[in-house]
C-alpha cells in the first residue's frame, strides 16, 4: 500500500532543449562537451556574483532560493565546502538523473568554476542509490577530469534522504536522515564550515552561464526571469523537458492531459485545475503567487481521480517519514488514515497540526498536498 505511485526511474525520456539540454546528440563525454562549449573560462567571485544576481539564478531543488545570496554567504566564511545534490529523493522527478546521464560536465563545470572562484578545495557529490545509472554516469564523467578530487556519496532510497541536512549527515558518515538545522548550511554546514549545497540543475545552470556568458544565458526566458528550467512530465516513461521561463503552459503540457487537474511540484505539491493552469506561463514568480510553486519542476497528471491518487501518495509519504520527529511519525499515518476514510475535517485538522513541526519540511509538504486536494474538491463542488 505504501509504495510510491510513481517509481523512480534512471532512464527518463530526455527531449533536446534550447540551453542545458542542447547538443544531446554529442553524448555525455567531455570531448563533445568541450567541442560544444569551448574551454571553461576562469571567473572571479565578484563577476560571478554580479551575473548570478542580474540573471536571478535561483535554486532548482524546490525552494527557489537566490543562488547569489547563498554564494555570498558562503564566501564570507572560511574554507567553504561545495556539495552537488543529485540524490533526487522525489521518485516522480527525473531531471537530475537526466542531467547526470546526458550533461554531466555542465554540472561539474558549474561546481568547478565556483570552487575556483571561492578558493574551495572540498567538493562532495550525492547520488541516489535507487538510480544506478546516475552513479555510473557520474563516475564516468569524474574519471574524465581527474584534476579535481570529488567525493561521491550514495543517498538512501528514501524521500527525505535528499533534504539538505540529511545529505550533510550522509557526508559526515551519520545516518542519512534530516536533523534540526539551527543555522543555514551556507553559514554552518559540513563540519560547521560554510557549505554551498545545491541541486544538480542549479550547478548546471551556473556551468552553462559561465560557458556561454550572460548575454546568451539571457537570450532565453523573460526580462524578469531570464533562462530556462527543467521539468519532469509524468507518464509511463517520465519525460524531461527544458523550457524557457515565460513559455505558455499550453505549449508544454501533453494534449492528453487536457481537462484534468495537474499536480504541480510533485508529491509535496499543489493540485491545479486544468483551466487555471493552461492559460498561465512557466514562471517561478507567477506560480508562487498563484499558490502552486513549481518546486523541483515535477508535473503529474494521473489517470485515476485526484482524490484516490492523493490518498495513495499520502500513504507513501507517511511511510517515507524518517520516523524521528514525533509529529511526523504519528501525524502522517493519521493523516493517511483520514484520507482513506474520506474524513475531510480530521484531515484538515491534522494537516494544520503537523505543519512546521519537523526537522525538515516533509510534514509541511504532505499537508500542502492534502490541503490542495481539499481545495480542488471544494472548487469542483461549487
Partner 1 sequence: MTARLRVDWPNCRARGLCHELLPELVDLDEWGYPVVTGEVTPDLVADARAAVRMCPRLALRLVAQPSRPSSAAT
Instruction: Please write down the HEC assignment for all residues of 250-262.
Output: HHCCCHHHCCCCE
Distance CA 54, CA 244 (A): 17
Binding mask 297-336 for partner 1 (x = CB under 8 A): -------------------------x-xxxxx-xx-----
For residue 43, count CB atoms less than 10 angstroms from its CB and return exposed for 0-12, middle for 13-18, buried for 19 or more. middle
Distance CA 197, CA 170 (A): 13
Residue 333 contacts by C-beta under 8 Å, 6 or more apart in sequence? 318
Query: DSSP string spanning 292-353?
Result: ---TTTEEE--SS-HHHHHHHHHHHHHHHS-S-SHHHHHHHHHHHHHHHHT-HHHHHHHHHH
Packing angle of the helix pair 306-320, 326-341 (nearest 10 deg): 160
Sites for partner 1 among residues 214-233 (CB under 8 A): none
| Interface with partner 1, residue 353, by CB under 8 A | yes
Sites for partner 1 among residues 264-303 (CB under 8 A): 268, 296
Q: How many residues bind partner 1 (CB under 8 A)?
A: 47
CB nearer to partner 1: give 110 or 331: 331
Smallest separation (angstroms) from partner 1 to the CB of 34:
29
Distance CA 244, CA 251 (A): 11
Q: How many CB atoms lie within 10 A of CB 256?
A: 10
Region from 127-135, 144-152, 279-287, 350-358 binding partner 1, contact rule CB under 8 A: 350-358
Give the three cell numbers for residue 329.
511519525
By CB under 8 A, name the one of 26, 357, 375, 377 that touches partner 1: 357
CB nearer to partner 1: give 176 or 281: 176
**Strand, helix or coil for residue 343:** coil
By CB under 8 A, name the one of 184, 235, 246, 280 that touches partner 1: 184
CB nearer to partner 1: give 6 or 164: 164
Binding mask 47-86 for partner 1 (x = CB under 8 A): ------------x-xxx-x-------------------x-
CB nearer to partner 1: give 278 or 287: 287
Give the three cell numbers for residue 376.
480542488
Q: How many CB atoms lie within 10 A of CB 273?
A: 16
Sites for partner 1 among residues 87-116 (CB under 8 A): 88-90
Smallest separation (angstroms) from partner 1 to the CB of 296:
6
For residue 252, count CB atoms less than 10 angstroms from its CB and return exposed for 0-12, middle for 13-18, buried for 19 or more. middle
Smallest separation (angstroms) from partner 1 to the CB of 334:
8
Smallest separation (angstroms) from partner 1 to the CB of 44:
26
Sites for partner 1 among residues 138-177 (CB under 8 A): 159-160, 162-165, 167, 177
DSSP state of 246: T
Chain contacts with partner 1 (rule: CB under 8 A)? 59, 61-63, 65, 85, 88-90, 159-160, 162-165, 167, 177-182, 184-185, 197-199, 268, 296, 322, 324-328, 330-331, 353, 356-362, 364-365
Amino acid at each position: 500500500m505504501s509504495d510510491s505511485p510513481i517509481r523512480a526511474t534512471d532512464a527518463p525520456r530526455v527531449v533536446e532543449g534550447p540551453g542545458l539540454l542542447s547538443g544531446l546528440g554529442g553524448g555525455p563525454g567531455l570531448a563533445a562537451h568541450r567541442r560544444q562549449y569551448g574551454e571553461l573560462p576562469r571567473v572571479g567571485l565578484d563577476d560571478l556574483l554580479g551575473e548570478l544576481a542580474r540573471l536571478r539564478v535561483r535554486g532548482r531543488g524546490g525552494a527557489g532560493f537566490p543562488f547569489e545570496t547563498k554564494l555570498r554567504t558562503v564566501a564570507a566564511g572560511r574554507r567553504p565546502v561545495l556539495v552537488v545534490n543529485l540524490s533526487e529523493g522525489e521518485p516522480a522527478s527525473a531531471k537530475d538523473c537526466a542531467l547526470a546521464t546526458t550533461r554531466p560536465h555542465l554540472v561539474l563545470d558549474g561546481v568547478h568554476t565556483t570552487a575556483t572562484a571561492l578558493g574551495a578545495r572540498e567538493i562532495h557529490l550525492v547520488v541516489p542509490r535507487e538510480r544506478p545509472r546516475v552513479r555510473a554516469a557520474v563516475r564516468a564523467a569524474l574519471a574524465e577530469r581527474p584534476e579535481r578530487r570529488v567525493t561521491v556519496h550514495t543517498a538512501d532510497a528514501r524521500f527525505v534522504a535528499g533534504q539538505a541536512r540529511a545529505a550533510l549527515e550522509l557526508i559526515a558518515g551519520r545516518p542519512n536522515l534530516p536533523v534540526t538545522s539551527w543555522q543555514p548550511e551556507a553559514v554552518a554546514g559540513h563540519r560547521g564550515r560554510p557549505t554551498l549545497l545545491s541541486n544538480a540543475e542549479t550547478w548546471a545552470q551556473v556551468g552553462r552561464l559561465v560557458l556561454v556568458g550572460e548575454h546568451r544565458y539571457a537570450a532565453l526566458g523573460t526580462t524578469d526571469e531570464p533562462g530556462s528550467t527543467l521539468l519532469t512530465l509524468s507518464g509511463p516513461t517520465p519525460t524531461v523537458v527544458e523550457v524557457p521561463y515565460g513559455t505558455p503552459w499550453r505549449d508544454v503540457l501533453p494534449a492528453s492531459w487536457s481537462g484534468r487537474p495537474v499536480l504541480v511540484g510533485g508529491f509535496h505539491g499543489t493540485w491545479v485545475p486544468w483551466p487555471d493552469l493552461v492559460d498561465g506561463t512557466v514562471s517561478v514568480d507567477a506560480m508562487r503567487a498563484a499558490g502552486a510553486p513549481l518546486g523541483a519542476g515535477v508535473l503529474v497528471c494521473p489517470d485515476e481521480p485526484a482524490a484516490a491518487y492523493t490518498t495513495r501518495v499520502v500513504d507513501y509519504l507517511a511511510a517515507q517519514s524518517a520516523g524521528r520527529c514525533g509529529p511526523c511519525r504519528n501525524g502522517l499515518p493519521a493523516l493517511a488514515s483520514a484520507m482513506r476514510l474520506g474524513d475531510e475535517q480530521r484531515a484538515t485538522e491534522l494537516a494544520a497540526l503537523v505543519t512546521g513541526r519537523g526537522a525538515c519540511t516533509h510534514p509541511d509538504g504532505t499537508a500542502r498536498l492534502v490541503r490542495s486536494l481539499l481545495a480542488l474538491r471544494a472548487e469542483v463542488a461549487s
